[in-house]
Structure 1
Amino acid sequence: MEKYLEIFKNSYHGYFNYLWTEMTRFHWENYFYGLILVSLVVWGLELLFPWRKKQNVFRKDFWLDTFYMFFNFFLLNLIVLIFLSNATAELFNDILGFAGLKLSAFQLLDLDALPFGFGLLIFFLITDFVQWNTHRLLHYSPFLWNFHKLHHSVKEMGFAAHLRYHWMEPVVYKSLLYIPLAIIGGFNVESVAIVHFSALAIGHLNHANLGWDYGFLKYIFNNPKMHIWHHAKVLPKNAQHGVNFGISLSLWDYLFRTDHIPHDGRDVELGFNGDEKFPVKFTSQMLYPVKTKN
C-alpha cells in the first residue's frame, strides 16, 4: 500500500510539472498547444466548408463540448488517469512477479528493432484495432453503455464533440490497451506523438460539420460522412448496438461488416432512445451512470 501511495504522490506531482511545462514552453510534440491548433484548424474548415449550412457557428452545446475537450485531455489526466495508469502497470508487474514472471517474457515484438516507418505503422494499426474493439464493447455492454451515452448525447455535430465523453471511458481504453502495447514494446516519444496527433485530427474531422468521405480512402480512414451514422438515433434493425465503430480507421468496419452508410446522412437525427431525459449539465452527466440502472 505504501508503494501505491508513493505512486499516487509522484504521479500528480510529475504531471502537474509536465502540464505547466507544456503550457509555458512550445515544442512540436506539445499536447496542450497541439490540441488548440488542431481544434482551430478543423473549426476553420467547418466555417469555410459547412455541410449543414443552417447550423450555427456556436452550435448547441459548443461551449460544453469545448470544456470537455480541455477537461478530458488535461484535467482528467491530472485528476485520475496518470495515477491509474501508473498503478495498473505496477499492479500488473507485481502479479507477474508473484508468479515468477517478467513482462519482457511476453514481448513478442520490439518496434525499435524495425525501420521507423514500419514500426510506426504497426503501432498505429494495433492501437487502433484495440480501440475499435473497445469502442464496440462500450456499445454492447449495458454497464459501459451508460457511460458512453454521454458521447452520444450530442445533438448537433461539431469538432469539439470528439472529446465529449465520461471520464470512465479512457480508463477502459487505457486498461485494455496496456497489455497489447506491453507485448509489442519499444515505441518511442516520437511514435506516440505522431499517432496521438493523427488520431486527434481524424477524430476532430469525423465529428466536424463537414461533408467529406475522402474518396477511395473512405475504405481506410474514418470520415464525417461515415461517422455521422454512428451517432444516428435510429439504427438498423440488425445492428441495434451500433454501426461504424471506427476510431481513426474505417477498414475494421468494412472487414468485420459493421459498416452502414445507407445514404447521405447530413440531416439524420442524432442521439439515442430516451436522450430527451439525459442531463444537460456537466455534474449531472458525470453522475448519470451511477444513478441509472442498467
Structure 2
Amino acid sequence: MEKYLNLIKKAYSGYWNYLKHEVQFPSDWDNYFYGLIIISLLVWGLEILFPWRKNQSIFRKDFWLDTFYMFFNFFLLNLIILIALSNTAAQILNDILKLFGLTLSNFQLFDVNQLPAWLGLLVFFLVSDFVQWNTHRLLHRVPWLWNFHKVHHSVKEMGFAAHLRYHWMEPIVYKSLLYIPLAIIGNYSSKDVAFVYFFSIVIGHLNHANLGWDYGVLKYIFNNPKMHIWHHAKALPKHLKYGMNYGLTFSFWDYIFKTNYMPHNGKDIELGFEGDENFPKDFFKQEMYPAGTKPSKN
C-alpha cells in the first residue's frame, strides 16, 4: 500500500511541476496549455466569421460554463484525479500480471516502433479512435454511463467549447478501456501522442462549432459540424434509439457500422435529450447529478 501511496504522491507532484512548466515556458510546440488556447481562439474566430446559425450570439448560451469545463477537464481534472489514478491503476495491473509471471509485453501483438514512423502513427490513431468510438457507444447504451454522458448532451447551443463539457467520470471510462489495446501494440513517443492529441482537439472543436461545414468528400473520413450536430439531436430516430454519429475524429466507423444519420440540414434542430429541462444548469450540480439519479435509458 505504501508503494501505491508514494506513486500517487509522485504523480501529483510530477504533474503539478509539468503544468507550471507548460504555463511559464510556452516555447515548446507540444505545449498543451497554450495549444488549447490557440486552437480555441482560431476556431472561435471561424465561428464569428462564418456563423452557420446567424441568430446565435457570439457568447452563446452557456459559453462561460463550457469555457470553464474546457480548462477544468483538460488540465485541473488531470491534477485532481486522472494522473494519479491512471499511474496507480497501471502499476496494480502490472503487479497482478507479475503474480502469474507475466508482463504486458507478453500480450504485445507487435511493436509500432518497428514500423515506418508514418505507419506507426496511423496505427496508433486508428486503434485509439476505434476504441473511443466503441466507448462512446457504451456511454449511450449503458444506463448508468448515460447518466454521466448527459452532462455533454445538456448543451443547448453548439459552440467550440462544448467539445470539452463532460463529466469527470468519462475520461476514466475512456482511459480504462483504451489502456490495454494501446499497450499491446507498443510504446509511443510523447511527440506522436501530442500530434494525435492536437489533431483530435482541432477536429473536436470544429465538430461542435457554429459552422455549417461537412468537408465535401472528406466527410466520409472525418467527423464534421454538419454530422455531429445530429449526434446532439434531442429527437432520435426509431432505428437508432440510442443515438447516432458516434465518431470522435473519424466518421467512417459510423458509415461502416450503419450508425450514420444525416436526414437533412440540421442547422436548427433542437439539441439535448428527453427531460433535459430538469437537468441542472451549473457545474457543481451537473457533476453531482449521476450520484443522485437512477440510471435511465437514452
For residues 169-180 of structure 1, the aligned pairs below 5 Å read 169-180=170-181
Verify: 1:228 aligned to 2:218, yes or no.
no
Q: Distance in 2 between matches of 1:186 and 1:273?
A: 42
> Which whole-Å deviations, capped at 9, do the CAs of 1:8-51 have from their partners, x for residues lacking one?
10010000000000001111000000000000000000001000
For residues 95-106 of structure 1, the aligned pairs below 5 Å read 95-106=96-107
For residues 261-272 of structure 1, the aligned pairs below 5 Å read 261-272=262-273
State the shift of 1:279 in Å: 0.2
Verify: 1:237 aligned to 2:231, yes or no.
no
> Which whole-Å deviations, capped at 9, do the CAs of 1:153-175 have from their partners, x for residues lacking one?
00000000000000000000000
State the shift of 1:222 in Å: 0.2
> Which whole-Å deviations, capped at 9, do the CAs of 1:120-160 have from their partners, x for residues lacking one?
11100001000000000000000000000000000000000
Give 1:4's aligned residue. 4
Q: Distance in 1 between matches of 2:46 and 2:191?
A: 27
Verify: 1:14 aligned to 2:14, yes or no.
yes
> Which whole-Å deviations, capped at 9, do the CAs of 1:168-192 have from their partners, x for residues lacking one?
0000000000001100112111110
For residues 118-133 of structure 1, the aligned pairs below 5 Å read 118-133=119-134
- Structure 1 residues not aligned, in runs of 5+: none
> Which whole-Å deviations, capped at 9, do the CAs of 1:229-263 have from their partners, x for residues lacking one?
00000000111100000000000000000000000
Superposition CA RMSD, Å: 0.5
Calculate the TM-score normalised by the size of structure 2.
0.98
> Which whole-Å deviations, capped at 9, do the CAs of 1:74-93 have from their partners, x for residues lacking one?
00000000011101110110
Give 2:141's aligned residue. 140
Q: Distance in 2 between matches of 1:208 and 1:154?
A: 12
* Structure 1 runs, 4 residues or longer, greater than 4 Å off: none
Give 2:280's aligned residue. 279
> Which whole-Å deviations, capped at 9, do the CAs of 1:168-220 have from their partners, x for residues lacking one?
00000000000011001121111101100000000000000000000000001
| Equivalent pairs, count | 294
Give 2:185's aligned residue. 184
Q: Distance in 2 between matches of 1:181 and 1:91?
A: 17
- Structure 2 residues not aligned, in runs of 5+: none
Give 2:85's aligned residue. 84
State the shift of 1:110 in Å: 1.0
Worse-matched range after superposition: 106-115 or 135-144: 106-115
Q: What is the identity, as a one-letter code, of the residue corresponding to 1:29?
A: D
Q: Distance in 1 between matches of 2:247 and 2:229?
A: 12
Give 2:29's aligned residue. 28
Q: What percentage of residue pairs aligned between the two structures are identical?
A: 69
